[in-house]
Structure 1
Amino acid sequence: MSDARRYHQLSSPFAMKRGGSLAGARVAYETWGELNTARSNAILILTGLSPSAHAASNADDPSRGWWEDMIGPGKAFDTDRFHVICINSLGSDKGSTCPASIDPATGEPYRLTFPELALEDVANAAHEAVTGMGITQLACLVGCSMGGMSALAYMLLHPGSARTHISVDTAPQAQPFAIAIRSLQREAIRLDPHWNNGQYSDASYPEHGMSIARKLGVITYRSAMEWNGRFARIRLDADQREENDPFGFEFQVESYLEGHARRFNRTFDPNSYLYLSRASDWFDISEYGDGDVLKGLARIHLQSALVIGVSTDILFPLEQQETIATGLEQAGAHVNFVALDSPQGHDAFLVDIENYSRAIGGFLGELDV
């Protein structure tokens, strides 16, 4: 746990969209830069499925954050001008209340008794935290990947809560391909005998299921173009292969995926992964527009927005970013749509810092605070 992490205690009971509630729940967050006297320079970042609130290093925690090169003095999120907040999603095990948390009613971890989680719950929890800081309107609300869907819910459920918005590689609803991949990830976890219907322990942990889920994710986060460029058909050296395993790893790309899975394993609670994954599938902005995505987006009113997508993103295709841009523009916002050709696919916003910095820094540079 980082020393920089802070917590906001949510209202109790905290009502959930799909029924049920949480008692004594909280969300974790971190901040960078100073809030001005008018409280008008706050930027909120909502994350993808697995990141923590530690988006960048700071005095209390000097370790690199997941968006380290984007946040700081003179960077795209210029902390000399803005007060930047990153909130860990409700349901995530990175400090916020989640299925691994203790249920105060039983004294035991929630596990699968945790209420059904929707991204609207993630949005409402984040909004409570922001208003708890005395901020009535954000200068900008930023959402990356799953966090982009949570950000759309945030603006729908709390009109006027943000002046501007930056949408990064996200979607107004999950498409069948994304649902199919996440379904397979969840199945891999649940079929691991150590998952034990959610009743696993450190000694008996669904390591294999989590590894497969992570590998599936990594495959979709990057593009075929990058896989070809980085690995081609390069084979492992003989001493890197398992001699007595006829179906063991033979290619470098297989070893790369295994390394990713090992680094991820035991860093994220499996039940939390299941809940957040399913919440992503459930989100559909057309629910707020009589079954029409554009009508749902039309209920979001902003001064301006930046929508960024990547042509090589197979998980959140570019046409979904175009739909968001069209909907927000039809609702009256001045929208800047940026389509990047980064070869990194969905992960481009974590890797192609130069192009994302140029787009985001340029957009925020024009904001008055």
Structure 2
Amino acid sequence: MSEFIPPGTKFAALPSPFAIKRGGSLRGARVAYETWGELDDARGNAILILTGLSPNAHAASNADNPEAGWWEAMLGPGKPIDTNRWYVICVNSLGSCKGSTGPASIDPDTNEIYRLSFPELSIEDIANAAFEVVRSLGIARLACVIGNSMGGMSALAYLLQHPDSARSHINVSGSARALPFSIAIRSLQREAIRLDPNWDMGEYDDTNYPENGMRMARKLGVVTYRSAMEWDGRFGRVRFDSECREDDPFGLEFEVERYLEGHARRFVHQFDPNSYLYLSRSMDWFDADEYGQGDVIAGLARIKLEKALAIGVRTDILFPLQQQEQVADGLRAGGAEAQFLPLDSPQGHDAFLVDFERFGPAIAGFLAQL
């Protein structure tokens, strides 16, 4: 079992002890991050990017790591998030296995891997850890916080817990709370991992790794990240093998099955299963109504911003469009000039990672107004 840290990753030490919302604390913890561009003299041109569950901090190529990042088309000189103007920070979530302290890290108190002794992680903890990174860079107020998917939740938690910490916010396919469908899918993903005998109550290693559980969890996720429209248009009912082998009855037969299998196999051994469990559960727990006495809009209205943009796509079944509309409504109730932008991308929840023709102009246009 390993951590997976890209070359050129930077690290910020968290205050020790670092308090955890649901109890306990971390000692000697750190957060991985990367940066692009230059801070201006007033330190007022900083943008923070908070990610979904699985990405690392390497959102785009830079001098320390020329390899293309997971948001390469969006971030860089002359791109929608223009690093000729903005100083951009991308943080790897606390609890991940991509450089930030998480269940796959060494507990300094025992000199053993945390595994399930890692404290119960919340979205608020992820947000507070990101806040410490920003503060360590000497930035008092961000120009914008951008959150994608789970990062949209983390961004809202960041703004709720740290008033006046940003001038604006872009919520990309995120939400203020988890809906039952999303909770159900993530519950099945976690169950697939936990039921793999190799998971062994979190005591696996690289040799005895819960590969089947992680494969199934990833397949379930990928099915919900895209839309039925895209699956149909991309694969139809094309078969790659007209007959199943006798030694593999009910085996893979359709192109869509082969795609999912390939996608899943590329993911296993590249992500720590315990980290996956912790991060997945943190999304289910997050609910902005905690900040509004049971009312999500009232909770979001506590966030004070100048401008906000909530973007979603009509084909997203995991973070459906009404959730981005709710975010915009709540931020508007708090006094922000908040826009809700529904996009017609056929690519579902993952559209922000691939449909740059739609997302690029939307984000560039918003940032141009700041």
Q: Shorter-chain TM-score: what band?
A: over 0.9
Partner of 2:311: 308
How much has 1:95 moved relative to structure 2?
A: 0.1
| 2:299 match: secondary structure | helix
Partner of 1:70: 74
1:13 alignment partner AA: P
| 1:138 match: secondary structure | coil
Equivalent-residue separation in structure 2 for 1:357 and 1:228 (angstroms): 25
How much has 1:365 moved relative to structure 2?
A: 1.1
Partner of 2:193: 189
Q: Deviations over 1:190-243 (max 9, x none)?
A: 00000000000111000000000000000000000001101111111359x544
Equivalent-residue separation in structure 2 for 1:30 and 1:83 (angstroms): 11
Equivalent-residue separation in structure 1 for 2:277 and 2:351 (angstroms): 24
Partner of 2:299: 296
Partner of 2:346: 343
1:63-102 aligned at under 5 Å gives the runs 63-102=67-106
Query: Aligned-pair RMSD on alpha carbons?
Result: 0.9
Q: Deviations over 1:164-208 (max 9, x none)?
A: 000000111000000000000000000000000000011100000
Equivalent-residue separation in structure 2 for 1:151 and 1:145 (angstroms): 10
2:213 alignment partner AA: G
1:261-276 aligned at under 5 Å gives the runs 261-276=264-279
Equivalent-residue separation in structure 2 for 1:111 and 1:364 (angstroms): 40
1:106 alignment partner AA: T
Equivalent-residue separation in structure 1 for 2:107 and 2:247 (angstroms): 47
1:1-369 aligned at under 5 Å gives the runs 1-238=5-242, 242-367=245-370
Equivalent-residue separation in structure 2 for 1:265 and 1:246 (angstroms): 24
CA contact (8 A) 2:316 2:348 kept: yes
Equivalent-residue separation in structure 2 for 1:242 and 1:130 (angstroms): 55
| 1:332 match: secondary structure | coil
How much has 1:3 moved relative to structure 2?
A: 3.1
How much has 1:293 moved relative to structure 2?
A: 0.3
CA contact (8 A) 1:310 1:345 kept: yes
Equivalent-residue separation in structure 2 for 1:178 and 1:34 (angstroms): 38
1:302 alignment partner AA: L
Indicate the larger mover: 189-198 or 2-11.
2-11
Which 5+ residue runs of structure 2 have no aligned equivalent? none
CA contact (8 A) 1:57 1:63 kept: yes
How much has 1:244 moved relative to structure 2?
A: 2.1
| 2:171 match: secondary structure | strand
Corresponding pairs, count:
366
How much has 1:2 moved relative to structure 2?
A: 3.0
Q: Deviations over 1:59-89 (max 9, x none)?
A: 1111110000000111110000000000000
**TM (normalized to structure 2)?**
0.98
Q: Deviations over 1:13-38 (max 9, x none)?
A: 00000000000000000000001111
1:138 alignment partner AA: L
Equivalent-residue separation in structure 2 for 1:168 and 1:246 (angstroms): 42
CA contact (8 A) 1:142 1:148 kept: yes
Q: Deviations over 1:237-261 (max 9, x none)?
A: 359x544212100111000000000
CA contact (8 A) 1:242 1:249 kept: no
**TM (normalized to structure 1)?**
0.98
Equivalent-residue separation in structure 1 for 2:340 and 2:361 (angstroms): 13
Which 5+ residue runs of structure 1 have no aligned equivalent? none
1:9 alignment partner AA: A
CA contact (8 A) 2:241 2:254 kept: no
Equivalent-residue separation in structure 2 for 1:74 and 1:17 (angstroms): 40
Indicate the larger mover: 213-222 or 320-329.
320-329
CA contact (8 A) 2:163 2:303 kept: yes
Equivalent-residue separation in structure 2 for 1:293 and 1:336 (angstroms): 18
| 1:162 match: secondary structure | coil
